[in-house]
Amino acid sequence: MTEMTIVHLLRHGEVHNPHGVLYGRLPGYHLSEVGRRMAEVVAKAVEGRDIVAVWSSPMERAQETAVPSAKALGLEVITDERLTEAGNVFEGLRMAGRANVFRDPRSYLHFRNPFRPSWGEPYRDIVARMKAVVDDARAAARGHEALLVSHQLPIWVIRLAAEGRRLWHDPRRRQCALASLTSLTFEGGRLISIGYSEPAGALLRAGTQPQAEAALFDEAGKALPEAFRAGPEDEETPGPRSVPGL
């Protein structure tokens, strides 16, 4: 019988970010009190699973999300740079309020190509590194399960690639909530299903300020509505080689 392996992609919990900064890869951004509770809830949800490896992005918020689950499973956290947040030229800038980035017209240049995207790490590059780490985790946990803690955009684009969908998308429509699990199930080396769950969903707060690129799109949509009209296909539509396990 062919072995079944599951790779769970866990998004980190809520971050303490009172000034609404797009923090990206900046150091010093830790989980909020609610974020720490999310991490504990996830740990309780996964402690009975057959998880034999816990990997994490090097960012503090991801490490702090991974630790409770690793402890519950009796494992050590393995840090992997490939799970890190996507690069973004607006890193460190405020996305909303009077001092937001769109007060400077020079920012508009970064929206010249939303399909790549021109404001950050290319979607194809993110897919390549996420596919590599998923494949390595699948091999390490062969016949069992692995838990990989990462960030919203990397998790979402590898899911889009795995489903054969275009990589260009509206960040406000991602199905990748805080502390959510996107689960890739493999039969041998073949991806057979993709699942999604929100074990800490009860802690998600309604009306929370949009985070990261979602907030960026809220502001950009007001200033540059024409820049966000996607065609039926674009240069970032993945081929079958983008799909994990193929």
From the candidates 8, 12, 110, 169, which is the catalytic residue?
12
Pick from 170, 163, 198, 203: nearest CA to 184: 163
Three-state secondary structure of 183-245? EEEEECCEEEEEEEECCCHHHCCCCCCCCHHHHHHHHHHHHCHHHHCCCCCCCCCCCHHHCCC
From the candidates 14, 64, 85, 145, which is the catalytic residue?
85
* Residue 12 annotated as catalytic: yes
Q: How far is Cα 220 from Cα 185, in angstroms, rounded to an integer?
A: 36
* Residue 85 annotated as catalytic: yes
In angstroms, what CA-CA distances link 189 with 137, 162, 182, 235, 244? 12, 13, 18, 28, 9
Buried b (16+ CB within 10 A) or exposed e, 139-170: eebeeebbbbbbbbbbbbbbbbbbeeebbbbe
Q: What strands lie across the sheet with 77-79, from one edge to the other?
A: 77-79, 51-56, 145-150, 4-11, 181-187, 190-197
- Residues tagged active-site: 12, 85
